[in-house]
Structure 1
Amino acid sequence: MKNEINIGLLGYGVVGSGVATILHNHQEDLRHKLGVPVSIKKVVVKDLEKKRNGVISKEMFTTSLDEVLNDPEIDLVVEVMGGTSAAQEAIRRSLEAGKGVVTANKDVMAESGPELLKLADENKCDLLYEASVGGGIPLIRTLEDGLASDRITALTGIVNGTTNFILTKMKHENKTYEDALAEATELGFAEADPSADVDGIDAARKMVILASLSFSTEVRLDDVFVRGMKEIKDGDLQLAEQFGYTIKMAGSARKDEEGIEVAVEPVFFPNSHPLATVNNEFNAVYVYGDAVGETMFYGPGAGSMPTATSVTGDVVAACRNLLLGVNGKRLHAPQYERKVKSDDQKYARYFHRITVRDEVGVLTELTSIYSHHKASLATVVQDSELHEEGADLIFITHKISRQQHLDILQDLKDTPTVIDISSHYRVEGE
């Protein structure tokens, strides 16, 4: 039996230094849980001359990945270097060298997860990726182990802290999008280039990971319908509140006998829905299972120590597998073939805000369009205040297919009395 476990750490940025700090400060706890010490032996970085603070001594740093891969005393590789190409290559080479890998890299797992998990199976290695989704929320381990006996049918959640922070500031402090984004950047919740967050790409990658795991099938990034938060127009947050809703940038995934559907977009949630009360940089995911019913997982979605905590949790799991001799025993091959729904198989309620000319008969003309597409309306409201462009009509549909929704929008655009389709949203949670 091994009397110690050594780690090769790839990257020493915000998360990497957090992992090193936890492993250093919790050494006695880890020894108690595992029965052996767990130590970082090498840290791979780009620049040896860069000044670094922390618990790692200078002689442990190297720029060579080979020093980690060729060291027989290093049992486990922790990849927190970020990026895609170099990180993917490092994970691949580590697995081929017979070393288990823990990663926090959602980009790599979303784009190359099936390939890398297959490689882990072939080389009898663990590949653990809890921190790739949800920061400090133990979500992946719960889906993989805690709910393993259940059949997950759907999940809906806020999986990007940046957009949730921005929307919280816009709603509760009446800040503009630009001011809220500037504050998020200043606090470190948003990158200098926030496009991956605000355009929904970051959340889409996380939903690929969650849907693939939950439904035991291959889900690709191209399978995800993505609509960014820039689609939220002036006045929409207040209008949502008027009708009893809160707008959240949310990811959703569903599976039934017809296939899967995955989306990331701004969504109307009833104010009574638990996700409507998740604010600032926090994440939350609602999971629906045949047996367990509805459960929600909530916590910090980003940050050095929450993410590092998830990474270290995977390190403990991988170490335990090594000590028990069961590393690489879990097979990751999908149980079901990939089957993606078409737009006429995806059903939801929709909110439409339409600016029209203030003329007699407009309401009748527009409702006939919905009737033509066999869409029934739950709510029809005309804004009592006229503005320069005309008047606003609000329609909330009963459940219709996404194809019906798109066809209705197209017909509305082609109607002369319609000045603009100001906004449209999926209505969730009812």
Structure 2
Amino acid sequence: MTTTIAVGMLGLGTVGSGVVMRLTQAARKIEQTQGLRLRLAAVAVHHLNAPRAVTLPIGTRLTDSIEAVVTDPKIQLVIEVMGTLKTAERAIVTALQHGKSVITANKDLMATAGEQLTALAQRQHCDLFYEASVAGGIPILRTLTDSYATDQVTAVAGIINGTANYILSAMTAGKTYSQALAAAQRAGYAEADPTNDVGGLDTTYKLMILSQFAFGQQLTIDQLAPQGITQLTAEACQQAAQAGWQVKLLAQAQRFGDQLACRVAPVAVPQTTALSQVKGVQNGVAVTSQAIGDSLYTGPGAGSTATANSVLNDVIVAAQQLVRQTCGRAFNQNHADLTVTRLADLSQRYLIFTDSSVLKLQRAANEGDFSLQRHTADCYETSVLTTAQLRQLAVDLASDGRELTALPIAFSTVTTTTAIKTTQPVHVAI
């Protein structure tokens, strides 16, 4: 027997158009395998007469009223793909208050207001799913919920912003930052204003969501203090690659007992790791757990069809729950109360870039009680340094008018809980 579910959608841009296309193409399979007929009843858009990339199914109502969709008593499920904050939040709240389950791809909103929206959904006995909010084409959230249900995740590390990864890959290949950004914008991988992508905020929102699923821990932007890629040079990326590393904007969270150390920053990822080979606009999330060990999940992080596929998978789960009358269970059931610190505050190894003399560096290393290994003309690998040692090295070089670029080496932190201290973050130009 086939059950028809009436669906409303807010937004008909890149992702919304992909949802319509995938829904049309997969309708027969969904009906055959799931016993569901998903009828797109209405779509709300900002401009009714704007050109559309897709043709809506016969019988779908196009409207410029969000309210008309989220309050329609015939619509049982709402897809939000507008990509706004306040407007989307009001729409989702109204939909939930009217007893409708909601699917969203809105990472900014779910990272900052997800807790309140989830609580409202549970009170209303509705579902709120948002798989597409992180690494659009990779089902990482549901994987963490289902496949790691009996396991304990100890670390996640993600390349989860395709724009930044594309730029860093292009810089490693020889382009300047400006050239790489311009190429990303021409290819449609970067927005006209790429601030959130290159500044690390987009990655931060996604790590905030990942942390909830992997560790049960809420994070804030202040706790993560993201660093972007705008101050990196192509020379540093290229020298790092020659020395055996790939520079990546990495989202990291690592658990040490009851403490969680986190970071969003450009780091040097060893080329011996699979994560380092995630290039261009691809995304990758590495998960380390007690039972499974190391796993890597890769795929497109954005794009019309990939993100739409994740949205539709959530729609199917929500529709099945509607049929079974089992709506209202929170998407993420993992909750913990961990002490949050910064990975930047831990002792770890660094790649440093400086044109200072070898003699000056040797003297600084001897006085600071650490060692250096030279890889290229201006690229050195340090032994494990404390933040105080790195700060002093920067001061020593600055006294001679030399600048220091320091990139943490991923996965090199000291892994004893006694090494986690509350210190002032080191300020080194990168």
Q: Structure 1 length as normaliser, TM-score?
A: 0.89
Measured after TM superposition, the shift of residue 225 of structure 1 is: 3.0
Which residue pairs with 2:402 in the alignment? 419
Distance 2:84 2:141 in 1: 21
Deviation string, structure 1 residues 296-351 (Cα, Å, up to 9, x no partner): 00001111111111111111111111112211134746521252126786343222
* Contact 1:369 1:411 (C-alpha < 8 Å) held by counterparts: no
In the alignment, is residue 218 of structure 1 matched against residue 218 of structure 2? yes
Q: Is the 8 A contact 2:12 2:82 kept in 1?
A: yes
Map 1:372-383; keep pairs closer than 5 Å.
376-377=370-371, 379-381=372-374
Q: Which residue of 2 aligns with 1:103?
A: 104
> Which residues of 2 match residues 307-326 of structure 1 at below 5 A?
307-326=307-326
Residues paired across the two proteins, number: 411
Name the amino acid aligned to 2:382.
I
Moved more, 126-135 or 29-38: 29-38
2:415 matched residue in structure 1: none
Which of 372, 380, 387 in structure 2 is aligned with 1:394? 380
Give the match's secondary structure for 2:403.
strand
Contact 1:356 1:393 in 2 (8 A): no
Inter-partner Cα distance in structure 2 for 1:122 and 1:369: 61
2:341 aligned partner, one-letter code: K
Residue 266 of structure 1 deviates from its aligned partner by 1.1
Q: C-alpha displacement at 1:289, in angstroms?
A: 0.6
* AA aligned opposite 1:318: A
In the alignment, what sits opposite 1:428?
Answer: 410
Distance 1:296 1:393 in 2: 29
1:163-174 pair list within 5 angstroms: 163-172=164-173, 174=174
Distance 1:58 1:48 in 2: 16
Amino acid at match of 2:383: T
User: What's 1:388 paired with?
Assistant: none
Partner of 1:336: 336
Query: 2:143: which partner in 1?
Result: 142
Q: Do residues 241 (structure 1) and 241 (structure 2) align?
A: yes
- Structure 2: how far apart are the matches of 1:150 and 1:141? 14
Find the counterpart in structure 1 of residue 365 from structure 2.
367
Distance in 1 (alpha carbons) for counterparts of 2:73 and 2:244? 60
Instruction: For 1:260, give the aligned amino acid.
Output: L
Secondary structure class of the residue paired with 2:36? coil
Q: Determine if contact 2:135/2:300 at 8 Å carries over to the other structure.
A: yes
The 1-side partners of 2:49 and 2:376 are apart by 63
State the Cα distance separating 1:27 from its structure 2 match. Answer: 1.1
Partner residue in 1 for 2:419: none
**Kept after mapping to 2: 8 A contact 1:357/1:417:** no
Q: How far apart, in 2, do the equivalents of 1:137 and 1:62 lie?
A: 31
Query: In the alignment, which residue of structure 2 is the partner of 1:22?
Result: 22
CA distance in 1, matches of 2:52, 2:218: 40
Matches within 5 A, 1:15-414: 15-56=15-56, 60-172=61-173, 174-330=174-330, 332=332, 335-341=335-341, 346-356=346-356, 362-371=360-369, 376-377=370-371, 379-381=372-374, 392=378, 394-398=380-384, 400-401=385-386, 403-404=387-388, 407-409=391-393, 411-412=395-396
Distance change (3 Å), C-alpha of 1:180 and 1:383? closer
8 Å CA contact 2:349–2:381 kept in 1: the answer is: no
**SS across alignment from 2:340:** coil
Quote how far apart the aligned CAs of 1:34 are: 2.4
Distance 1:92 1:338 in 2: 29
Normalising by structure 2, we get a TM-score of 0.89
- Residues 330 and 200 (structure 1 numbering): CA distance in 2 closer, same or farther, change over 3 Å? closer
- Contact 1:355-1:418 at 8 Å conserved across structures: no
Task: Pick closer, same or farther for the CA change 1:272–1:110 going to 2, 3 Å.
Answer: same
Report the AA paired with residue 291 of structure 1: A
Q: CA deviation at 1:151?
A: 0.7
Instruction: Answer whether contact 1:412 1:418 (CA < 8 A) is retained.
Output: no
Pair 1:61–1:405, CA change in 2 (3 A): farther
Classify 1:109/1:347 alpha carbon distance in 2 versus 1 (closer, same or farther; 3 Å). farther
Amino acid across the alignment from 1:380: Q
- Asked if the contact 1:278–1:284 (Cα under 8 Å) also holds between the matched residues in 2, the reply is yes
Alpha-carbon spacing, 1:116–1:311, altered in 2? closer, same or farther (3 Å): same
C-alpha separation between the residues in 2 aligned to 1:258 and 1:353? 35
Q: For 1:125 and 1:4, how far apart are their aligned partners in 2?
A: 18
Quote the sequence identity (%).
34
Give the Cα–Cα distance (whole angstroms) in 2 for the partners of residues 210 and 344 of structure 1: 19
